[in-house]
Structure 1
Amino acid sequence: MIDKRPAVIVRCADVADVVSSVDFARANDLELAVRGGGHSGPGLGSVDAGLVIDLSQLRDIRIDPDRRTVRVAGGCTLGELDRATHEFGLATPSGIMSTTGVGGLTLGGGTGHLSRHYGLTVDNLLRVDMVLADGAVVSASAGEHPDLFWAVRGGGGNFGVVTSFEFRLHPVDTVVGGPTFWPIERATDVLRWYRDFITSAPRELNGFFAFMTIPPAPMFPPELRGQKVCGIIWCYSGPTEHADAVFAPVRAFAAPTLDGIQPMPYPALQSSFDALVPAGLQWYWKADFFAELSDDAIAQHVAHGNEMPTPLSSMHLYPISGAVHDVAADETPWAFRQADFAQVIGGVDPDPANRALVTDWAKDYWADLHPHSAGGAYVNMMMDEGQDRIRAAYGANYDRLAAIKGEYDPGNLFHINQNIRPAMPAVHT
């Protein structure tokens, strides 16, 4: 989907390389993009005729098991982070695919399998080291550059290049999780049951709803491969001896076509989708937050879910209740703290000839659901959709972000992102 041609790509070996690259781009008036894991749907990790700072060589991970913290270099993926912390029976909330970059996911907020239990990724961020637009190297935390620290916890890559992150860790080792699938004809019933169940479920239980086509993979029974289904991918991160009781209401609701719930190491759940969606696919995303799932909204979901245009196209509905609601809307840039769901519609296919097919389906689906939404979307799941959508994503927090942007990047050097335009300080005479 993305075919950008940078003038130069700098594969930084250390922070000094990042500083040199930022200084060079600024001095030569070059467009500047920053690439972490390369998962940006709109291709914001690259730029035509400009300079790309590629952080993929920065892979250091240091764990302090006594403090339950981890410092992660800016080029690491979630899989690398999960494998390292798992050795100590610990984890921090992140996404749902191990190939995702830690940096991009974190800077946009970070929602995934542990969100209801332990909050968003940014709720567990303790400190960042970063290179600013003027080439300065700073640390930001609650006690140092607190405005900058507030801004990077959801404000994206607008404020500099983060070269390392420090996260709080939690005791997560073996989880009980996996999919339950039902025939797509049951989608209305499943969605109505799911909206009520998940918001009142124990915080240790997370489960995101999905429309999908069962892939031709060995993990699935041959007779189910190729079928369109609705399903929920579960993760229970509480005591494993309580799992049967927690999942009893799930199994009591309706017998699924496939029940894949089982104990597994947390990194195994995190990497379970990797083989199904390799690099190089055609992707088009559309997203929104939802305060509720009305019957009318469910009707639109069912109509469009039945029309998935390709086997890899899907819709995910992530629960963002539980611990996510413990944080006030103005404590981080993530403004939709009282929403219950974050939706992403993904039109996906390997064939470039189907680009319009998957894109049109995602756009049409979104257009019919948007009137039922909370008005904004998760920035990590947005395409290049213009300033109005960026403002809507941050709501009442946008003006504060713009003011901090004006302080730390007044020239908007870092603008190849979901861009927050710098607000200039008022001039008093």
Structure 2
Amino acid sequence: MNTSWYALCCLALLQAFIPGSSPLKSIPYYFQKNPFTCRQVSVFEIAQDLGAVISSNSAIFLPSHPPWSEVTKRWNTLIAPDIEIVVQPAEESDIPKVVQYCNDNGIEFLVVNRGHGLTAALNKFRGIQIDMKQLTAITIDSDGKSALFQGGVSVDEVVTALWDQGYVTTTGSSGSVGLTGLALGGGHGRYEGLYGLISDNVIHLNVVLADGSTVPVNETSYEDLFWAMKGAGHNFGIVTSLRLKIYPKQIATWHYHNYLWTQDKLEAVFEEMNRVQDHGNAPPLLGASFGHIRINRSVNEKEAILWWTSGYAGPASEVEHILRPFNAIEAISDEMGDVPYPEIHGPQDTATSSFPSGPYVMSTVMLQTYNITAQRQLYDLFNRNAALYPELGANALLMIEGYATAGVQAIDPISTAYPHRDEFHLAFFLAAAPEGSDLLEPARTWAKESWDIWNAGQPTRKPATYVNYGTGNEYESLESIYGYEPWRLERLRALKAKYDPYNRFRYYVPIIPY
């Protein structure tokens, strides 16, 4: 077949779907989902092609390979992109080569660190997964003020490596999650009361753009993109490595105090939480207070209980007087201790092994304060549904996260794309419901009802969504994620047109939908 004639026919066919169009360049960028191609190649041929251009220590996996289930594993199995090939680059310089190959051949690409993305947009993906698990180098600068992290590092790896050298930095609170993805969406964690979000500590990003070019992004180079990457970065490029501020470890141990309460203590607990959190004025060292409501069969098979943990950057002697009101609330059990910072994940139940993967239905909100009436309504809804659907109730929870936010609020809100510096708590509903089961619709209804109750509890505020917890539910508006000020989305869309005109990065809470 004459290749030129075939290409011309393909172009004519494309234009036939766009009335009145002539040159391809006249098509608005938001219709150009990917560079147009007619080439059809097998996954085996693609693997051969890529193997010839990327570094020798890189790995390429096909569905027939034994490790396939492991390299395509995701935390939420209900969100399942259609992966045809997995490439694990051994060098940062491999990534632009893979992107360029995909562009040349009309193949979609999806970058993965640890596979914790929750957004339903991932279900629309089909193509090559670029898995950054081999890119885990950490280099501390000689001045001890910053460190360079490759794009595949996890929170556990960062915390441990820095601590061993006498430093800490801002990370997420869960040890199993990747650092880079969190940073692109802000990144809440235990040290934000002192130092702000992860994104607030980013100094420099090495970014692969949608066209395959690699650019340095910082305050003086691509400064407009630097603004966007700190809060909406998933939409703009691949971060192969980033430089973060680091800080000398000045605190030897973290104190934790965990409580287990029956439901009749719920109001008293949340009243004390509101008092301590004080509308965002919690002590900066009271880094992380988490809780969940769920069925604990060892305590009560039918009635949910409240578990809570407070983590403080310092010893018990500095914080137990703050926690005294909680100690006065009669608990089923409580435990406390002081541990080095890398060990705090365990007792606070955020370690790598704490959260098994599953087919999860979710909804999520951000809050300024805990509405006591709403928390009771959420609890009662939980118990009713757990009784109606015992299998669903056994694998459901209401999660509430509170952080010391002084460091977050200290940053000028217009200086980054992250829009929610006046929101102090994260909360979400989660239930395991396999695709196709008769539990899926009840779980979705339960998720929406929980979302409604949380938001009804703050009637003077608009719904807010933390982008890193974005689920893609139809009731999550783009404004709730990227900010209600009109200029925010206008600026992000203009930058999207500039840096990703074909909308190649559209599978993680996309500014321009699929």
CA distance in structure 2 between the partners assigned to 1:150 and 1:239 by the alignment: 37
Answer yes or no: is the 8 Å Cα contact 1:90–1:173 preserved in 2. no
CA distance in structure 2 between the partners assigned to 1:212 and 1:319 by the alignment: 15
TM-score between the two structures when normalised by the length of structure 2: 0.74
Q: Alpha-carbon deviations, 1:312-360, whole Å to 9, x = none? A: 4222222353222212321222212112222222223689844444433
Query: Residues 118, 235 of structure 1: CA spacing in aligned structure 2 closer, same or farther, 3 A cutoff?
Result: farther
Say yes or no: does 1:251 pair with 2:338.
no
CA distance in structure 2 between the partners assigned to 1:298 and 1:247 by the alignment: 21
TM-score between the two structures when normalised by the length of structure 1: 0.87
User: 1:425 maps to which residue?
Assistant: none
Identity score, percent: 25
Say yes or no: does 1:363 pair with 2:440.
no
User: 1:317 maps to which residue?
Assistant: 400
- What SS class does the counterpart of residue 229 from structure 1 fall into? strand
Q: Alpha-carbon deviations, 1:380-402, whole Å to 9, x = none? A: 11112359612321112222222
Query: Residues 399, 264 of structure 1: CA spacing in aligned structure 2 closer, same or farther, 3 A cutoff?
Result: same
Query: Residues 394, 135 of structure 1: CA spacing in aligned structure 2 closer, same or farther, 3 A cutoff?
Result: same
User: 1:135 maps to which residue?
Assistant: 212
- 1:239 deviates by 5.7
Flag structure 1 segments of 5+ consecutive residues without an equivalent. Answer: 217-221, 423-429
Q: Is 35-44 or 224-233 further displaced after alignment?
A: 224-233
- 1:263 deviates by 0.6
Question: Which of 254, 266, 272 matches 1:187?
Answer: 266
CA distance in structure 1 between the partners assigned to 2:333 and 2:475 by the alignment: 43
Answer yes or no: is the 8 Å Cα contact 2:218–2:226 preserved in 1. yes
User: 2:463 maps to which residue?
Assistant: 375
Counterpart of 2:293, as a letter, is M
Q: Is 68-77 or 303-312 further displaced after alignment?
A: 303-312
Question: Which of 423, 427, 430 matches 1:339?
Answer: 423
- What SS class does the counterpart of residue 260 from structure 1 fall into? strand
CA distance in structure 2 between the partners assigned to 1:117 and 1:258 by the alignment: 31
Counterpart of 1:370, as a letter, is N
Query: Residues 238, 117 of structure 1: CA spacing in aligned structure 2 closer, same or farther, 3 A cutoff?
Result: farther
Say yes or no: does 1:101 pair with 2:178.
yes
Answer yes or no: is the 8 Å Cα contact 1:34–1:45 preserved in 2. no
Query: Residues 386, 330 of structure 1: CA spacing in aligned structure 2 closer, same or farther, 3 A cutoff?
Result: farther
C-alpha RMSD over aligned residues: 2.7
User: 2:512 maps to which residue?
Assistant: 421
Answer yes or no: is the 8 Å Cα contact 1:289–1:374 preserved in 2. no
Q: Alpha-carbon deviations, 1:238-294, whole Å to 9, x = none? A: 466423334334324x13322222111222222533333223x12122112223333
- 1:43 deviates by 6.2
Say yes or no: does 1:411 pair with 2:486.
no
Q: Alpha-carbon deviations, 1:360-409, whole Å to 9, x = none? A: 32222112222335422001111123596123211122222222222211
- 1:58 deviates by 0.9
- 1:41 deviates by 1.8
CA distance in structure 2 between the partners assigned to 1:82 and 1:226 by the alignment: 39
CA distance in structure 2 between the partners assigned to 1:68 and 1:357 by the alignment: 50
- 1:127 deviates by 1.4
Q: What is the 5 A alignment of 1:274-313?
A: 274-279=352-357, 281-306=358-383, 307=385, 309-313=392-396
- What SS class does the counterpart of residue 344 from structure 2 fall into? helix
Query: Residues 53, 173 of structure 1: CA spacing in aligned structure 2 closer, same or farther, 3 A cutoff?
Result: farther
CA distance in structure 1 between the partners assigned to 2:288 and 2:332 by the alignment: 17
Query: Residues 214, 386 of structure 1: CA spacing in aligned structure 2 closer, same or farther, 3 A cutoff?
Result: closer
Say yes or no: does 1:196 pair with 2:275.
yes
Query: Residues 201, 3 of structure 1: CA spacing in aligned structure 2 closer, same or farther, 3 A cutoff?
Result: closer
- 1:162 deviates by 0.3
Question: Which of 211, 217, 234 matches 2:292?
Answer: 211
Counterpart of 1:413, as a letter, is R
- 1:420 deviates by 1.5
User: 1:427 maps to which residue?
Assistant: none
Say yes or no: does 1:37 pair with 2:120.
no
Aligned residues between the structures = 415
- 1:111 deviates by 1.0
- What SS class does the counterpart of residue 284 from structure 2 fall into? coil
User: 2:167 maps to which residue?
Assistant: 90
Q: Is 162-171 or 289-298 further displaced after alignment?
A: 289-298
Query: Residues 339, 244 of structure 1: CA spacing in aligned structure 2 closer, same or farther, 3 A cutoff?
Result: same
Query: Residues 387, 421 of structure 1: CA spacing in aligned structure 2 closer, same or farther, 3 A cutoff?
Result: farther
CA distance in structure 2 between the partners assigned to 1:275 and 1:246 by the alignment: 30
Answer yes or no: is the 8 Å Cα contact 2:207–2:240 preserved in 1. yes
CA distance in structure 2 between the partners assigned to 1:109 and 1:278 by the alignment: 24
Counterpart of 1:310, as a letter, is G
CA distance in structure 2 between the partners assigned to 1:359 and 1:105 by the alignment: 26
Query: Residues 43, 303 of structure 1: CA spacing in aligned structure 2 closer, same or farther, 3 A cutoff?
Result: same
The higher radius of gyration belongs to 2
CA distance in structure 1 between the partners assigned to 2:435 and 2:260 by the alignment: 27
User: 1:219 maps to which residue?
Assistant: none
CA distance in structure 1 between the partners assigned to 2:395 and 2:196 by the alignment: 29
